[in-house]
Every structure is written in C-alpha cells, then in structure tokens.
Amino acid sequence: MKANNLFFPFLMLFLLFGSCNKPIQNAKTQNDSIENPADQEVHAMEESRNTTTEILAKKQVPILCYHRIEYGRNDEYTVTPATFEAHMKILADSGFRSINPGQLYDYLVFNKEIPEKPVIISFDDSRVEHATIAAPVMEKYGFRGVFFLMTITHNKKNYMTDEQIINLSKAGHTIGFHSWDHTRATKYDIDSIVKQNVIEPKKKLEEMIGMPVEYFAYPYGLTNEKTTANMDNYFKMSFILSMKQDTINPLQSVRRMIAPEWKPQSLLRAMEKTFSRR
Ligand SMILES: [Zn+2]
C-alpha cells in the first residue's frame, strides 16, 4: 500500500488506446449534419440513457471487496483462504451469479437484463494471492472477478506479475484500475497528480492487457465531489467503499462492501442489509 517512489520505469507509450479515454456517455459528434450509421447508433443510445434519478432508483447490485487472502492476520482487510472459499461456495449455493462491471453499467444506464441474483466480486491492491488463490476458486464456482490494480506494485514481491494480470484478463476476469501508487483521490485536484496517478499508468495498463481499462476503485474507497466529477472523463464507472453515493454522479461513486472474515451466512445477511439501502 505504501508508495514506492524509487520505482517507476517510464516506457515509450504507443498510444494504442489514446482514443479510448472518453467513455461513451461523453461521446458527441462534431459534425451533426453528416452522420454515418455508427454515429446514428451512438445518438440513439444516448437518447435511451437513464437519467441520474432513474439510475439512483435502480435496485443495487451487491458488490464485494476483498484485499488480503492469507492466514495469520486478523484485520478487516484480510480473510483466510478457507473463508474466501466458503464465501464463494455459499454465493454459488444460494444462486448468485457474478456479473462484470460492463453488465452493471448496461443495467444501470440502459436497463439491460442481468441475472436474478447478481453479485460483483472485486479485489483491491494487486496482491499475488488474487491470482494464485482467488481466481482459481472463483473459476471453480463459475464466477469471474474484478481486479483493481495499483500499478506501481507490478512484478514486486507479494504482488501480481504482468503475466498473471494478462492471464486473469484472458480468463474472463475484468482488469480495473486503483491508481498508480494509492495516493488518495481527494488529492486529485492537482493536474500533475491526476496525470501521474491515473492518465499515464492507465494507458500503460491498457497496452499491457490489450484492451481499455474502464473501471476505477478509489484508493481507500474515498473521493470528493470534484474528483468524482473528473473521473467521468476517464472511466465508465468508479467505485467507493463506505462513503455515501454521489447523487450527481452516481456512476462515478458506485458502492461496494468490504467482505471481512465473516461466516458465510453473516456475509449474505450483510450483503442484503448493505445494498437494500442507499
Ligand atoms: Zn487499496
């Protein structure tokens, strides 16, 4: 979690995804008089978008957040491998189906169908056990997860390697972003910090996995009004933890719940309670 200022090998950027920074909700056609069919389709989609009020009225999808999965620690950011497996098992036994953030976005914005008992299983901080323990267990139960990466840690001890990240993406998991070095997003009112923590590392991550990175988890789960509004320029959706959802930018402040070392039944009860209110 600590910033390691000694490490950041700048590479030449190929700008492969330079045009992908703008999410579709901000897409606008420069010249409205000559429209090709693709532009017309974008406009039709724009018109069918839910309003902010409609998005806030949608039933919430439970979103779990895990950090460490290991034995020998006793804090709210850690579950044992046995507990993690028990959590996945009860979700599967209770009929939950994992969805990805893209499905959540289409459900919130375009009323697309999602499974009756949806869940998003997410992971913060790029820990190596996310690839070695969490992913295989999830896959055993037919789930796919969302991995929010803090990119300064790539290939470091106890953190995922580039290869592990690429393999997660290839296996159908979603690669999300969690800033370069875990600087609080409440400090993102300085352009250079946004450039260093979001814009440049996000591009590198996109080059690495070969696809856009469209979802963000705020470091510490915290943001403020200004940063929340600004993230709309870079991500389709961003995720918070224990703070209140922003009613002006609900898609940039989607709530998640930390899943601690709880018995499986307690987890289900907490999910029900947490996501039945705003
Ligand atoms: Zn974090």
pLDDT at 6: 42
CA 277–ligand 1 middle distance (angstroms): 24
Give 35 or 203, the one with higher predicted confidence.
203
Amino acid residing at 157: K
* β-strands 68-69, 63-66 pairing: unpaired
The distance from CA 126 to its chain's CA centroid, rounded to whole angstroms, is 12
Question: What tens digit of pLDDT does each residue of 180-226 get?
Answer: 999 999 999 999 999 999 999 999 999 999 999 999 999 999 999 99
CA of 220 to the centre of ligand 1 (A): 5
Ligand 1 center–CA 178 separation, angstroms: 7
CA–CA dist 30, 39 (Å, integer): 10
Euclidean distance between CA atoms 172 and 170, whole angstroms: 5
User: Structural domain boundaries of the chain?
Assistant: 61-275
Question: Is it the case that residue 97 has pLDDT exceeding 90?
Answer: yes
**Residue 259 alpha carbon to ligand 1 centre in Å:** 14
Distance (angstroms) between ligand 1 centre and the Cα of 124 equals 5
DSSP state of 34: S
105 CA to centre of ligand 1 in angstroms: 22
Residue 203, pLDDT score: 98
Fold of 61-275: TIM Barrel (3.20.20)
Q: Where are the alpha helices (DSSP H) in the chain?
A: 37-47, 52-57, 81-93, 101-110, 128-129, 135-140, 162-170, 191-194, 200-209, 225-231, 264-275
Cα 257 to ligand 1 centroid, rounded to whole Å: 13
**Alpha carbon of 159 to ligand 1 centroid (Å):** 13
Q: What are the residues whose beta carbons fall under 8 Å from the beta carbon of 161, sequence distance 6 or more?
A: 128, 154, 155
For residue 45, name the pLDDT band (cuts at 50, 70, 90).
confident
